[in-house]
């Protein structure tokens, strides 16, 4: 379940908050070297944040700077990259109120996906415990204790996902 929380954390980190973060661009896939190699930006360049609104990408190989700019623009993430000498500069626009509400809806969808994954894990583990109990591999007391522990872990995981969601929602609503 810890992996599920990490997945949710990574998933909601990619939602724009109006501030520049490297997670907005680091996983965009680039068709580099004439389309022969498909790599993420983080594998092709250094990503740095110069101020609250600006992302600077410095490619390791200057010959692919045009490919990186083209594929960031094509990724449809609402960012406009500009080539400035040997680097790419991206100014992150501030969010409108309407766009903030859209991102909050997206956030809730991603949080619910995480909750569903947790429930699926719990369901699979409960099924395993029931099978083990029916096969007499564990006794009833052990099965009940394991089910209680599993439910307690599930409740903690759900609370952690909820906390992540509240923090991200506060970030989205902050102007």
Write down the domain spans for the chain.
19-91, 97-173
pLDDT at res. 32:
84
pLDDT at res. 145:
93
Q: From start to end of 24-167, where are the E strands?
A: 29-32, 37-40, 45-51, 54-59, 81-84, 87-91
pTM, entire model: 0.70
pLDDT at res. 112:
95
175 vs 172: CA distance, rounded Å: 8
- Give the CATH number of domain 97-173: 1.10.132.20
pLDDT at res. 175:
63
Residue ranges of the chain whose pLDDT lies below 50: none
117 vs 17: CA distance, rounded Å: 25
Q: 97-173: same fold as 19-91?
A: no
Q: What are phi and psi of 32, to 5 degrees?
A: -90, 160
97 vs 52: CA distance, rounded Å: 19
Do the beta carbons of residue 49 and residue 22 sit within 8 Å?
A: yes
Architecture of domain 19-91 in CATH? 2-Layer Sandwich (3.30)
């Amino acid at each position: 379940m810890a992996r599920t929380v990490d997945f949710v954390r990574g998933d909601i980190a990619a939602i724009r908050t109006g501030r520049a973060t490297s997670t907005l661009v680091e996983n965009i896939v680039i068709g580099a070297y004439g389309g022969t190699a498909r790599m993420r930006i983080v594998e092709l360049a250094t990503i740095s944040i110069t101020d609250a609104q600006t992302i600077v990408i410095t490619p390791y190989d200057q010959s692919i700077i045009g490919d990186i700019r083209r594929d960031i623009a094509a990724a449809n993430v609402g960012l406009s990259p500009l080539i400035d000498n040997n680097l790419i500069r991206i100014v992150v626009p501030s969010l409108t109120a309407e766009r903030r509400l859209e991102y909050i809806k997206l956030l809730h969808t991603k949080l619910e996906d995480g909750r569903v994954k947790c429930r699926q894990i719990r369901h699979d583990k409960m099924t395993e415990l029931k099978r083990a109990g029916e096969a007499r591999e564990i006794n009833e007391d052990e099965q009940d204790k394991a089910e209680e522990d599993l439910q307690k872990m599930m409740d903690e995981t759900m609370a952690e996902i909820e906390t992540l969601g509240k923090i991200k929602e506060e970030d989205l609503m902050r102007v």
